[in-house]
Structure 1
Amino acid sequence: ELRTERVNAILGTSLTTNEVVRQVRSLNIEPVSRKAKVLKCRIPSYRVDLEREIDLIEEVARVYGYDNVEEKSTASIDFSHPFAKSQFSDDVRSTLIGFGYHEAISYTLQDTKTSEESGVTPVRLLGLQSSETAAMRTSLVPGLLTSVARNASFGTDDVRLFEIGKVYCQDESSQPKLVEHFLEEERICLLLSGKRAPQHWSVSTELYDIFDLKGEVSDLVLKFALDKSSFICYPTSNRLADNAIAIEINGSYAGYMGNVAAEVLKRFGIEQEVFVAEILVEALSSVKRGKQYSPLPRYPKVRRDVAFVVDESTSARSVEDIIRSASSSLLQAIDLFDVYRGENLSAGKKSLAFGLDLMSLDRTLTDEDIESEVKSIVEEVIRKSGAVLRAV
């Protein structure tokens, strides 16, 4: 079949069907039927080179004359923005590299036992060639642990790694997905292990801990989601991490962080503590917004320190939430700078000391303003948490 519209689209011409018929007949190619602007042509047996419509179009162009085909500039420059998700991943990648992380790329396939460690049902593959590639990965953590073990075997124990990639699992929820009963998620995984700084005689050796990772996760979320994140301790079926802490953005689950379980480290042959965090790309990218700038403050900031004695079971986060709810717009920041347990405190008690940064955007604060703000905060903390004011 030879379509007139297709001929004109390819050659950039305005030939009529009659003209196309005349061109092909000159090559002993006979149109046996003609319907609308579609010709059915009989190809001579000796023209074995004519198999497709595009071959006939080439013959029409040759007979019509290449010099008769008008030159047209059809090239265009696309000024559109790159895909949003790809651009977001690049932004995250650049940010983490700026934090001092190295990107890793690991295999998507794992053994079934490793895939089950994350507490979800893995997607198993048919026609297995090896038991080590029997399932799709359900977490990015095992791949990075393999990199840690390999680095350790070469004498490199201090690592800062990240990976951005997809994980897969069977899912019976009602969430929309590409394939029924299967869920595909893109995640960001961060991993810290070893010493904070290279060993040197002038400083004591300090190892990474969970607070190093928490700080960097906070900085990452702060860059893309402003101050909409929180960290909550919670029980989990994820066997990869002990004492997991949930990461929430805008009140919705966005991932977790914690130290890798000892039995998992043993299976990978790792002898040092490893801290990991996995964050859902969708949760982080959905709240990304453009940067907004405000002028530098014209009036001074005032800091007031308050310390409360609370039960051991009371978290600093809960006290901080009370402080925020009780404060006015004068409160700019809260800093937990000391946690004390020991002498002068009863058993089962601890002291939490907070620094409160107060500032007004339109005037200099007076002593009365400051005292009134601090008093209302202290009274609310005592009322809601049963705390005792230790110092102010």
Structure 2
Amino acid sequence: SALEGKNPDEKIAHIHEVHNKDTMRMLNEFKMEQANGAWKNELCQQYYKTHRRDAENADGSPTEWPYPKFVDEDKKLREILRETFDHGAAIKSRVLSDFKIDLKGPPPEWGVDVNTPFGFEKVVKKKKLVVFIIDRTYPAFLPVCLDAVETVIREHIDDEDRIAFFSLGHDEALIPPTPKAGNEDHLIRKVQGAKECDTPDGKRHKGGSQVYSSIIRALDVLLTRPADDGWLILLSDLVDLTFGGNPNNGQYKDGMNFEQAQEKLMDEAKEADVKLRDMKGTNFIAIDASEIAKWEPQHKMWDTWKNNVRMLADTASRESAAIGRYLTAATPAEIAAVFEQVAAAMVDVGGVAD
């Protein structure tokens, strides 16, 4: 022990010395955090002076973010605010390059010049495996949805990450888990190609209205990831006709009545829920596009379809120590905005690797 052999006065002096060093270290860390904040606060002040926007829409609702007039610039701002910089000079250089804004930094009396290291630990991003399940049974939202998927791949998925893509209700992945690095153009072609009809008759898209079996299949793919940050992103009107129930086709399958078909669907959803619960850290985001499709609004199964998917999102957030979201898109135009929320969630959770 450092106190061995010391008399009482020496022990007290040593304890004070250690305490003072710890205090100075913590104060310096706080000063560096304040300095970093000062640079970024100045950035925000200057940025919003030159990128003015209305706070509310005409109906009183908050304006979108990113703001339609400054989509690319707002995204750059978000990335800078999230990034860990070594010192003020790095922030100053980046902001000057991206926005032509010349930041001044903290006041001189702080004793922190432009090259003073912040001393922050570098954040190592986890490698992601992002599995998309896209409902291709309804053409009204398919093109804008696939365009949004392309944007996520191009702008929010890193080269080290992998992407997989399923058509809802189809057994085989349209894109098996594939690294983005070296394959970005191929991935985008495959995503955009999903707009085309690809059944043998050339009139329909592969897949169908089987939500829970598709989720189970995607979770099985995520189980294969090695130390990745797993994401399952579902876009569908949430209709699941695994056991029948399409008014155009008459009865439920195998002579079941509504209650029996409902119980079967809930059993499938619970199977997916148990699997998700066991896969700690797997993120699940569902985008409900039922208001766009407006398929059979009086169908008795709607509460079951929606509640089952809400259950899965709740399990991801509460039981799996991950992100779980149930989002809605009421118009095709809203799909792109919702995917921006998805991208933001992916950036927020992509923290330090274990």
TM > 0.5: no
Q: So what's the TM-score if we normalise by structure 2?
A: 0.21
**Higher RCO (C-alpha under 8 Å, 6+ residues apart):** 2
Q: So what's the TM-score if we normalise by structure 1?
A: 0.20
